[in-house]
Structures are given as C-alpha cells and as structure tokens.
Amino acid sequence: MSKYLVNKFLYTVDRDHELTERYREDPAGTVAWWEAEEAGRILNCVAAEKTTWLAFTDDERQALSAHDHVALFRMGAHPFLTLTLWIAMFERDFDEPLAMQRDYAARLAHLEPPYPDIGT
Amino acid sequence: MAQLVAILATTHHPFFYRTSRLPPDEAPPFAAEWVRKVEAYRETLTIARPDVLVMVGSDHFHQLWLDNMPQFLVGKAPYYDGNWENETREFGLPKLLLKGDEELSAYLLREGIDRGFDLAFSNELRIDHSITCPIFTVRPQNDLPIVPIYTNIFAPPLPRPERFVRLGRTIREIIDAWPSDLRVAVIGTGHLSLELGGPRQFGPHGPDPDFDAQAVEWIKNGDIDGCLRNVTLDSLHAPGNATHGFMDFMLMMGIAGSAKADYADNLDLFHTMEPYFTWYPDAGLLPGLSLASKGSLL
C-alpha cells in the first residue's frame, strides 16, 4: 500500500485546474504521466531533489485509472481528498444540487463502519 | 492585561456565503432561517467590541500537507491571504486579505511553547474556509487583525481530545496574561457529526442526530468532564467519518473553562447540525449587555 502517494495524487491534481481537467478527460494517461514525472516531486523542492522510491501498487494505479472512488475508499485513500476532486470533475454532469454527492454516497452504501483506516 | 471579551464556537459551513447572497426566488427553502440565525449570532460578537480575533480552525489539506504535518500551528504574519482556488471553485468563496496581529502571535507562540505545547508556526499562511467562513458570518466587515491557530483534526495520527481541551485551557491562560490593553475575542470552528466522502454524506440530517443532541448539551453546559468521559479518538469515528472536527469544539470548551454558554442556538440544516455558541467570560467587560435573544437553546 502507498496510501500516501494516492493521497498525493488526489491532492496535487485537485489543486491545479489544468490537471483536474486532464484527469477527467484522460484518467489512465494522466495517472501514468503523473507517476512517471510527478510522483517523486517534494512540494517546495526543485526537480533535482525528487524522491526516488515512491510508486503506486497495481491496485492503486488501476483504481485511479478507472475513476473508481469506491475502490479508493476501500484502500483508505483520504475521503475528503477523493470527494473534493470528484466534485471538481463530475458535479457538472448532474442537474440537481448535491445530486452528484448523493450518487457518490449511494455507490458506497454497501460499506459499513468501521471504515478502512486512513492513517498514513 | 488583555481582556477576553467573548468566546465563540460554531461551524464553518462553506455553503453559507453563496446561499446567503441568492435572491429570494433562487434561494433554497432553508436560506432565510439560516441567515436569520447567523445574523443573530453575529450580534453576540458585535456587542463584545473586540479589538483582535484569535481564530481557531483546521486546514483542509490546503497549505498543510502530509510531507510536513503539524499538529498545532500558529500563524505569525502581518497579513493573511484567505481562501484557495478549489474553495472558490466549489463554494464560490472569494479571495480576501486579513490583517494579522504579530505581537499576539509571538506571545502565544512563546508562552505556548513554555507551557508545554511545541507549537509550529507559519510566517506565510493562506488561511482556508475554516477561518474565513466565520469572518463572513460574524465579522463580514473584516476589519480586525487576527491570529490564526490551526489544529490537526484531519490527518491521523491526531492529538487526543484531552489534548485539545488542554490547549484550550492554555490559550485561555495566555490571553488572560497578555500584557496588552486590547479586547480579545476567540472564535473557533469545528463540526458536530459529519460525514464527507463516505456513504452517510449529505443525508437529510447530520449523520448522527443522537450524537449532535448530546454534543449540544455538553457544549451548552460547559460539561468538559462529561464530554471527555464519552469522547475518544476511536469513538469519534462512529458518528461520521469527519466528526473528529468536534475536537475543535472541545478546544473552545477548554478556553471557556467549564462555564455554561451565554448564548446557545442551533439549526438542523439537512446534512449537518449547525451550532452557535458564545461565552462572555467577564460580564463586567460588557456594561449594558443586552442581547435580543440568548438563542433557542437557553
């Protein structure tokens, strides 16, 4: 598990409008590019100081590439980060206020507390 | 010494700003009551005539990140920019600039460290909606300098509830000892039961109305001991996956020091219970105090 890296993907994509749109339109391509080029970037540091050992597991790469927020929840990705990014990408596809958020919850409805550990 | 004139504990609902500005024919049915409650609550700060605001909130993964995560952080800067791009995108919150009170920041840091809290600090902090929302609700003219204090209620491992109460008590001691003639108000925001990003989010009420009812009683009565007997890091998972934000209310109860609230109100707002609490530590600092209401809970 590399929950930290999954969270880092969600965090860095959510805070950059261009990346948010790119991830919406091309999830698999964005995940592959990000893991190759951006995963090791320590925020605030120059490229020469990239972390050398960070990588997604196959399951994490697949969940991110498939926009599978249920799988991300099961893995213990931080639910606030996933929700915020999903709102940015998909709220526009629903007509009623909060309809996207309710659909998002309904897809998680089969999951009972205690929820997966989100500690990193 | 400085005078602690008011303590306010509430939520930082990011939908209020936009909802309160909608024309009546576009506003949702709950908007008018929400605005009325907030305006009544604002009065509880106004009558205290503060000179400076200590603002307790929690960064929502904006500036503070998992590669460098403080548990408690005090801003020490002459100004603070407010709100982030994704808050503007999602909630329609505007960017704003707030003044800082560096002298009080420095005093809180020095005294806090000396009293057992190894506080982190920031000289360049863009505050998020946990601090800007109460500005919009209770001080929309944004005319007072602030000292922001961030707590980690978000990224485990978290400090335990007892630690939040103790920090509140320590903040109270420090403000009471501050050699200044200024009038200080402390405004803190957190959550009652709340679920975000989970199956219970955005339901017809908060995810755990029973917890909310109990929490309101603890806060209203200043029942720190009863609260601590029932609330642990583990127990806070049950009412909703974002309910650890309740620990910011516990911090505020620590500042108020087991006193009963002087103003207590709430609003059952579909997916959350919105609480509005104010304490006046020394009635002598508010001559002629006359609130139109003490809220619906008192």
Q: Which of A15, A43, A80 lies nearest to residue B196, judging by beta carbons?
A: A80
Structural domain including A90 reads: 3-106
pLDDT tens digit sequence for B188-225: 999 999 999 999 999 999 999 999 999 999 999 999 99
Percent of chain B with pLDDT over 70: 100
Note the pLDDT of residue B287: 83
Contacts of B87 in chain A (CB under 8 A): none
Distance CA B144, CA B41 (A): 18
Report if residue A69 sits inside a domain.
Answer: yes
Give the Cβ contact number of residue B26 at 10 Å: 9
Element (H, E) at B277: strand B272-279
Distance CA A29, CA B264 (A): 52
Report if residue A85 sits inside a domain.
Answer: yes
Place of tokens 């100004």: B79
Note the pLDDT of residue A1: 60
Place of tokens 């003044």: B99
ipTM, two decimals, is 0.96
pLDDT tens digit sequence for B4-20: 999 999 999 999 999 99
Report if residue A115 sits inside a domain.
Answer: no
Task: Mark yes or no for CB contact A120/B66 under 8 Å.
Answer: yes
| Chain A 71-110, residues with CB within 8 Å of chain B CB atoms | 73, 78-84, 87-88, 97-98, 101-102, 104-106, 108-110
Contacts of A101 in chain B (CB under 8 A): 201-202
CATH code, residues B3-285: 3.40.830.10
B59 burial level (CB within 10 Å; 0-12, 13-18, 19+): buried
Contacts of A109 in chain B (CB under 8 A): 199
Determine the distance in angstroms separating the CA of A93 from the nearest CA of chain B, rounded to an integer.
Answer: 14
Mean pLDDT value of segment B148-165: 98
Where exactly are the structural domains of chain B?
3-285
Distance CA B210, CA B220 (A): 16
Q: What is the pLDDT along chain A (120 residues), one digit of tens a residue?
A: 699 999 999 999 999 999 999 999 999 999 999 999 999 999 989 999 999 999 999 999 999 999 999 999 999 999 999 999 999 999 999 999 999 999 999 999 999 999 999 999
Checking if the pLDDT of B296 tops 90, the result is no
Residue A32 DSSP one-character state: H
Q: What are phi and psi of A82, to 5 degrees?
A: -65, -45
pLDDT tens digit sequence for B39-93: 999 999 999 999 999 999 999 999 999 999 999 999 999 999 999 999 999 999 9
pLDDT tens digit sequence for B108-128: 999 999 999 999 999 999 999
Within 13 A of B250's CA, how many CA atoms are on the CB side? Answer: 27
Residues 6+ apart with CB under 8 A from A39: A5, A8, A9, A51, A54, A55, A56
For β-strands B79-82 and B96-99, DSSP reports them as antiparallel
Task: Mark yes or no for CB contact A79/B66 under 8 Å.
Answer: no
Number of domains in chain A: 1
Confidence of residue B169 (pLDDT cuts 50, 70, 90): very high
